[in-house]
Structure 1
Amino acid sequence: MLSASQLADRLARNAEAVCRYYLSAGHQAGNYWIVGDVANSKGKSLYVHLSGPRAGRWTDAATCQYGDLLDLVRETCGLVDFRDVAEEALRFLSLPHPASSRRGDAHTEPPVDRPAGERAKRLFRMTQPLAGTLADRYLCQRAIPRASVHPALRFHPSCYYRDLVTGSTLSYPALIAAVTDPSGAITGVHRTYLESSGLDPGGVGKAKVEDPRRALGNLLGNAVRFRFPVHGPVPVIVAGEGLESILSLSHVMPGMPMVSALTANHLAAFRLPDGCLRLYIAADADAAGRHAIEGLSRRAQALGVLPLVLAPELGDFNEDLRRLGPDRLTVHLRAQLAPEDVQALPPT
């Protein structure tokens, strides 16, 4: 019988087929398979890496479960003994599986399989400055003016969008955000697909597609960074999920380094910068957000970093900014900051 590591490795080579078989309620999104949980419920809490060095590794942000595909087989099938798990894995590996959707078919030339990080860098090189673009107008409508001061944000006038169900490809203008590692190197991009509003000629909204926000590349541990020094220690930072929520905080706290990890899963895994003493975690009012806060707080405490939570009055900080205004948001934040960090806020 093969060892556990050998079985896990063989399953990882067929990660997409494993997910389609055991997690059929999910769907592929870039380099991930997204599903609700190990019981194959619909949702977005559990994600599986489909390729690359972490192929087959999975995490459920709602339950804090994680593991390899052998663990996934055990959980989805409700098995206990390793022999039963191994027999199920061998049975699956012996089945004929259709070729991965990444490899084309017998009638087409297979596409060049460039690493996702390389494709992300290439996409970012094809963008243009944000100022005056449709994406700039979109952020202004979200009460976030002057977003063009952030070099991490760019605009692509015609960015490809692939429908994961039909396989068809469309093009939309998109807000592009660079995901970077601690050295400032681009490891991925985040795309917000946009379109002009038919009711308001001057209005801009997210494109009417199933998933108008998508990421590409290596996000784990990395983030979109705002006012973030590349060199030297970063003693105090704000970290949160959504791009617009963090941009809203940056609008009223322009002196504070901030990062958007983009999802609850990636927020929990964010790598803290060197020299960090205090970490403010921008909360999202949902279950996944609470689990992300708990996970990141535990990691911060283990590193000797003080975690503090910033809570919005409404659903998130962009809703606070749009509905309550910057002055009230500033007052609300002032009461949650440590005294030595209040200087990051504008004077009242």
Structure 2
Amino acid sequence: MDSPSDIARRLAENAEAVCRRYLANGRREGRYWLVGDVRGAPGRSLYVRLSASGDTRGQAGKWTDAASGEHGDLLDVIAASCGHGLMRETLAEARRFLSLPQPEVPVTANPRVRKAPGGTPAAARRLWAASRSIIGTPVATYLAARGIERPDDQGTLRFHPSCYYRASQDDAPDVRRAWPAMIAAVTDAAGAIVGVHRTWLDPAGGKAPVACPRRAMGHLLGHGVRFGDAGPVMAAGEGIETILSLRQLMPRLPAIACLSAAHLAAIELPRGLRRLYVACDDDRAGEGALRSLVERAAQISAECAPSSAVEVVPLRPQRDDFNRDLCALGRQRLAALLRLQLRADDAARFLPG
């Protein structure tokens, strides 16, 4: 039976076909396949090498996400695209794609007893249930250090004292495998938890000293970390801290943290939405997400009655993002910056004073 490395090699030999099946929202450009992320969201931040480079330094089938810094091979792509939590599920799917024979499945003593596989919405809900309030925890300390004193009044954030961390090849060999973590619920439009986002924390302060201190699991496309109930006026942005920074000044403005530029571009626009403020990170990926949302809103407006039109309004920070602005400018100066960018009626409604 073929080993995982053999299967990964066979997938690499058919890299473009793999991408067209499992990353169908992407497109080929030269020797690369470009897409939003490893789960196949629209965008261009992740690139898969379709053929080996002439100097042999770049292998076919290897991918890198420029937005998150993550990288891997085509087995990772299949696992993320299909929502697998176990390697055997991914290997079975890869064998089906390659038309390879499947291994014999041993009979278990009690086949009815199954643990929710990692990386799935069920696993995300299990982790959420095992977490607790952030009051008096390292999560509250971490957020306070970033100027966020009223972090969450919706029960969207929780604390896990010892959250498992899967080391990457960029981590030190002796990296700790469990850290305190901020757990954020990723929900769909109906409020059902479909995933979680984890931010691993250093007990001494700040994020944990690991290669990937932030990771999400579950079904993310179209969904996000929601603060407040959906309404006709909302805000959306990439990072949790970015959205929480805005809510320090506008706690009544419903907002969604989409966790990446690619997922921001693909967020499901709530029914009844009339105006969406987009908290833009100061980079190319953030600008690309804004353009995608403007195009989607224009399409909705063209297809629907004028009363259903959606206006997209950018909110631009002075620095990289609004959390840096909050820390550097303080609340009053940040409020003044926002007041200049909000529509007058929204400024009067959401920005006190």
Using the size of structure 1 for normalisation, the TM-score is 0.70
Residues in 2 aligned to 1:188 and 1:15: alpha-carbon distance in whole angstroms: 27
Q: Name which of 44, 52, 71 aligns with 1:61.
A: 44
Q: Spell out, residue by residue over 1:189-215, the C-alpha distance to the aligned partner (whole angstroms, 9 max, x if none).
A: 000000123xxxxxx110011110000
Q: Name which of 246, 269, 276 aligns with 1:279.
A: 276
Q: CA, structure 1 residues 347+292, in 2 after alignment: closer, same or farther (shift >3 Å)?
A: same
SS in structure 2 at match of 1:158 = strand
Q: CA, structure 1 residues 341+20, in 2 after alignment: closer, same or farther (shift >3 Å)?
A: farther
**Alpha-carbon shift at residue 313 of structure 1 (Å):** 1.1
SS in structure 2 at match of 1:147 = coil
Q: Which amino acid aligns with 1:48?
A: V
Q: Spell out, residue by residue over 1:296-342, the C-alpha distance to the aligned partner (whole angstroms, 9 max, x if none).
A: 11112222211100001111100000010010010110111111101
CA RMSD for the aligned pairs? 3.7
Q: Name which of 247, 255, 260 aligns with 2:244.
A: 247
Q: Deviating runs (4+, > 4 A) in structure 1? A: 14-17, 19-23, 37-41, 109-113, 166-169
Residues in 2 aligned to 1:120 and 1:169: alpha-carbon distance in whole angstroms: 21
CA contact (8 A) 1:131 1:148 kept: no
Gap runs ≥5 in structure 2? 1-6, 17-21, 53-74, 80-85, 92-102, 109-113, 302-309
| 1:170 corresponds to 2:177 | yes
**Alpha-carbon shift at residue 47 of structure 1 (Å):** 2.3
**Corresponding position of 1:327:** 332
Q: CA, structure 1 residues 313+270, in 2 after alignment: closer, same or farther (shift >3 Å)?
A: same
Q: Spell out, residue by residue over 1:78-100, the C-alpha distance to the aligned partner (whole angstroms, 9 max, x if none).
A: 9xxxxxxxxxxxxxxxxxx9x98
**Corresponding position of 1:151:** 155
CA contact (8 A) 1:254 1:344 kept: no
CA contact (8 A) 2:41 2:266 kept: no
SS in structure 2 at match of 1:324 = helix
SS in structure 2 at match of 1:250 = helix
| 1:117 corresponds to 2:121 | yes
Gap runs ≥5 in structure 1? 1-13, 24-30, 50-56, 66-71, 79-96, 198-203
**Corresponding position of 2:190:** 183
**Structure number having the greater strand percentage:** 1
Q: Spell out, residue by residue over 1:92-125, the C-alpha distance to the aligned partner (whole angstroms, 9 max, x if none).
A: xxxxx9x98812999xx99966261110011100
Q: Spell out, residue by residue over 1:122-147, the C-alpha distance to the aligned partner (whole angstroms, 9 max, x if none).
A: 11000000111101110000000121
CA contact (8 A) 2:37 2:45 kept: no
**Corresponding position of 2:343:** 338
Q: Which amino acid aligns with 1:127?
A: S
**Corresponding position of 1:8:** none
| 1:130 corresponds to 2:134 | yes
**Alpha-carbon shift at residue 39 of structure 1 (Å):** 6.3
Q: Spell out, residue by residue over 1:138-159, the C-alpha distance to the aligned partner (whole angstroms, 9 max, x if none).
A: 0000000121423111100000
| 1:18 corresponds to 2:11 | yes
**Alpha-carbon shift at residue 22 of structure 1 (Å):** 4.3
| 1:211 corresponds to 2:215 | no
**Alpha-carbon shift at residue 59 of structure 1 (Å):** 3.9
SS in structure 2 at match of 1:159 = strand
Residues in 1 aligned to 2:254 and 2:311: alpha-carbon distance in whole angstroms: 16
Q: Which amino acid aligns with 1:18?
A: L
Residues in 1 aligned to 2:330 and 2:13: alpha-carbon distance in whole angstroms: 46
Question: Aligned pair count?
Answer: 278
Q: CA, structure 1 residues 39+331, in 2 after alignment: closer, same or farther (shift >3 Å)?
A: same
Q: CA, structure 1 residues 211+119, in 2 after alignment: closer, same or farther (shift >3 Å)?
A: same
Q: CA, structure 1 residues 17+270, in 2 after alignment: closer, same or farther (shift >3 Å)?
A: farther
Residues in 2 aligned to 1:255 and 1:337: alpha-carbon distance in whole angstroms: 14
Residues in 2 aligned to 1:211 and 1:316: alpha-carbon distance in whole angstroms: 20
Q: CA, structure 1 residues 291+157, in 2 after alignment: closer, same or farther (shift >3 Å)?
A: same
| 1:48 corresponds to 2:38 | yes
SS in structure 2 at match of 1:208 = coil
In percent, how many aligned pairs have the same letter?
39
**Corresponding position of 1:222:** 223
Residues in 2 aligned to 1:144 and 1:20: alpha-carbon distance in whole angstroms: 49
Residues in 1 aligned to 2:12 and 2:292: alpha-carbon distance in whole angstroms: 25
Residues in 1 aligned to 2:31 and 2:126: alpha-carbon distance in whole angstroms: 35
Residues in 2 aligned to 1:125 and 1:144: alpha-carbon distance in whole angstroms: 24
CA contact (8 A) 2:140 2:151 kept: yes
Q: CA, structure 1 residues 334+170, in 2 after alignment: closer, same or farther (shift >3 Å)?
A: same
**Corresponding position of 2:50:** 76
SS in structure 2 at match of 1:192 = strand
Residues in 1 aligned to 2:297 and 2:149: alpha-carbon distance in whole angstroms: 32
**Corresponding position of 2:314:** 309
Residues in 2 aligned to 1:250 and 1:20: alpha-carbon distance in whole angstroms: 49
SS in structure 2 at match of 1:120 = helix
